[in-house]
Every structure is written in C-alpha cells, then in structure tokens.
C-alpha cells in the first residue's frame, strides 16, 4: 500500500484529498501548520486513519520527518488569497515559495516517485479572448485609467469589446498579483526539480473551488464562502466591479479526485493541467444562486462599482487536457451542488469579515 504525504492536508481542499486517498486504499500522512485564519477546528474533523503531524512546511526538520517512507507527495500547503497577498507580501512569498523550496530540498536523498503541486488559475491573469474577427488574443490587460473610469470590459485596438473564451494551458501566464506570482513559482520549482532528479512531477491549476468545509470566517478565501458569510449574517454579498465578471467554479470533491488521478495516471508527469468545471458563471449570478439556495432571495448583492488591485475580469477553464491525461470529468455543477454547502453554512459559525477585508484593502489604496 502506497503512503502519500499531503502538505496542508488539514485545509479545505486537503481534507477532501485525504478522504479521497483513504477511500482508494492509500495510507496518508498530513503535515499542516494549522493556522487559525484558515483552519479553526479543522484538526478534529480529520479522518482517524490519517496520520497528522503539526509543522510548518518551512521547517526542514519537520518536513524531513514527514517525508520518511512517503511514496508520493501532494503539496497543498500555501497562503491563499489575491487581495491579502498584495500587502502581506513577505508572508505569501515565504509560505508559498520558500515553503516549496524547503520541501523540495528535503526530498533530496529520499525521493518520492511522484509529486503533485496545487497551482492556480490566477497565473493566467486575464483568460483568453477573441476579437470581433474571431482571432484569439493571448495577453490582454485593462489599464489603470480604464478601471478607474469604470470601463470594466476589455477592448481591442479597434475599441470593440473583446469576447472571453475558455482558457487552455497554452495561454501564456500574465501575473497580476503577488499570489499569482507565488503560485507560478511553486509550480515551476516542482517541475524543474522533477526534471533534474527524475521525480514524476505534475502541477494542477485549480480554478475557483467550492464545497462544504470552507473557512467561512476568512474573507480572503473563496468567493462562495465569502458570500455565504455575508448572507448568513443578513448582509448583502459585496461584489466588486459590476458583477458581470466570469469565473469557473469547481466542486472540491472533483478537485480531490483530480489530485488522486494526477498521482496515478502515467501520462500526467511533466504537465500543468487545468482543473475546473468547464463552465462560466458571472459573479452576480453566483450571488443570486447562493441567496436562493440559502432561502434569502430578498438579499440582493451590493454592486461596489470599484475594482481591487490584482483582480482580473474573466477567466474560465478549458479542461480538455485534464480529460485527456487524467480521464477527469466533473461530476458536480454549481447550480446543482449548493445544497450540502448551504447545510454546512447553517451548522457553522460564519463570522462576517467582509467589511473588514474591504477596509484593509482601501486603507492601502488597493481599491479604485
């Protein structure tokens, strides 16, 4: 029976990955720092069959102990959140980039067969677009003056609005936030290390992950959890820009299965692979779906008509590569899978810190 080390395995995604591995016959060891902002009482929710080691991924001694006997590694440990990364820069670079470097250095001399790292759709910056002639554009950005003027949509050289299309892995990266920078560094470190040391390495670029178990009181976690915390406290979800920006929402159980497949499939090593639902939703649509599911349809979202520094307009996944290399097919759609998430919210202490998050960003000039 193979033993897999999961760094950050007590987090939202990590707990589902651990359950997926245990259900499929793996032994699992978890290394997690159990940071209060992210975890709360997550440690008590872990499956009994998993071995839990508390430790920071930047602590080489703790990492070496955790690696003993590991046949594979799933590296999830990371600081998460675009907005917070723009002012807690050292924290994000230290936790994500230095943490990955320490993990890889500790592997030398005790090499696992395969390592799978969690990357992020944020590395793309804006997703792919087409102009009026149907030509695809790889690298497009909004200018600061356009955003300040409330011109949210991207336009081509002819001034016409560009059409967002699904983003595949061939789209060049365009790093628009410190968080994106650190996630790209994580995936490149792992792939370079794998090539140099003969370790099979895979990077999964995760889109917006949702499901029961998200940290509801962390305003820098996923947008659904943020909206749910507001709605649970009878407050309207706060939506930046005009609410028409589009994202891909993928269920955490689909993500957990993708990590297992990335450990197992022979053609995955050496690749970066999108993990999403392949569907696009506007943020305003998501807020309305969630309010309806929570039984508070009268609470409509608050459209801020302001932008956060580091945010992009549109990005949703082309998952053809995941289908080809992993045999991955999403089993859950956002509109049909909110029930368990809503049940989780109703039985959890959802502290609304959305206003605090907005204030912190505004004080630093990161909202315009």
**Which of the residues are catalytic?**
179
Contacts of 295 (CB under 8 A, 6+ apart): none
Nearest C-alpha neighbor of 283 from the set 252, 245, 257: 245
Strand duo 163-164 + 72-75: pairing: unpaired
Q: 32, 13 in Cβ contact below 8 A? A: no
How far is residue 262's CA from residue 182's CA, in Å, rounded to a whole number?
21
Q: Which tokens go with 341?
A: 């998430």
Closest CA to 248 of 333, 185, 130: 333
Strands (E), 171-261: 200-206, 208-210, 238-239, 246-247, 249-251
Rg (CA), the chain: 20
Q: How far apart are CA 264 and CA 328, in angstroms?
A: 12
- Please check whether residue 14 is in contact with residue 30, taking contact to mean a CB–CB distance below 8 angstroms: yes
| Residue for token pair 């250095």 | 105
Cα–Cα nearest to 78, from 60, 57, 59: 57
For residue 326, how many other CB atoms are within 10 A of its CB? 24
**DSSP for residue 336:** G
Token digits of residue 107: 């592997």
């Amino acid at each position: 029976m193979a033993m897999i080390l999961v760094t950050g395995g007590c987090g939202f995604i990590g707990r589902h990955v651990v359950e997926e591995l245990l259900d499929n016959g793996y032994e699992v060891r978890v290394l997690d720092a159990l940071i209060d902002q992210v975890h709360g009482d997550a440690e008590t929710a872990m499956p009994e069959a998993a071995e839990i080691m508390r430790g920071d991924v930047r602590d080489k001694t703790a990492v070496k102990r955790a690696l003993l006997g590991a046949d594979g590694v799933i590296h999830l440990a990371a600081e998460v959140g675009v907005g917070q990364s723009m002012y807690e820069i050292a924290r994000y670079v230290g936790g994500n980039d230095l943490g990955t470097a320490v993990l890889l250095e500790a592997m030398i001399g005790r090499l696992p067969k395969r390592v799978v790292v969690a990357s992020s759709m944020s590395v793309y910056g804006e997703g792919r677009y087409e102009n009026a002639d149907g030509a695809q554009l790889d690298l497009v950005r909004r200018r600061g003056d356009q955003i300040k003027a409330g011109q949210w949509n991207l336009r081509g050289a002819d001034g016409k609005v560009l059409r967002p299309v699904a983003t595949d892995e061939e789209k060049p990266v365009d790093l628009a936030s410190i968080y994106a920078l650190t996630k790209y560094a994580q995936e490149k470190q792992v792939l370079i290390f794998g090539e140099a040391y003969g370790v099979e390495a895979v990077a999964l670029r995760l889109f917006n992950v949702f499901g029961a178990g998200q940290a509801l009181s962390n305003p820098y976690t996923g947008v659904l959890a943020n909206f749910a915390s507001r709605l649970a406290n009878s407050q309207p979800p706060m939506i930046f820009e005009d609410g028409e920006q589009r994202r891909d929402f993928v269920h955490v159980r689909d993500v957990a299965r993708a990590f297992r497949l990335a450990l197992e499939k022979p053609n995955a090593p050496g690749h970066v692979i999108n993990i999403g639902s392949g569907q696009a939703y506007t943020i305003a649509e998501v807020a309305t779906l969630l309010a309806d599911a929570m039984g508070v349809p009268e609470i409509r979202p608050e459209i801020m008509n302001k932008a956060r520094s580091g945010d992009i307009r549109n990005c949703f996944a082309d998952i053809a590569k995941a289908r080809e290399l992993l045999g991955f097919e999403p089993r859950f759609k956002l509109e049909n899978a909110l029930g368990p998430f809503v049940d989780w919210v109703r039985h959890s202490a959802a502290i609304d810190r959305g206003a605090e998050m907005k204030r912190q960003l505004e004080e630093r000039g990161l909202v315009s």
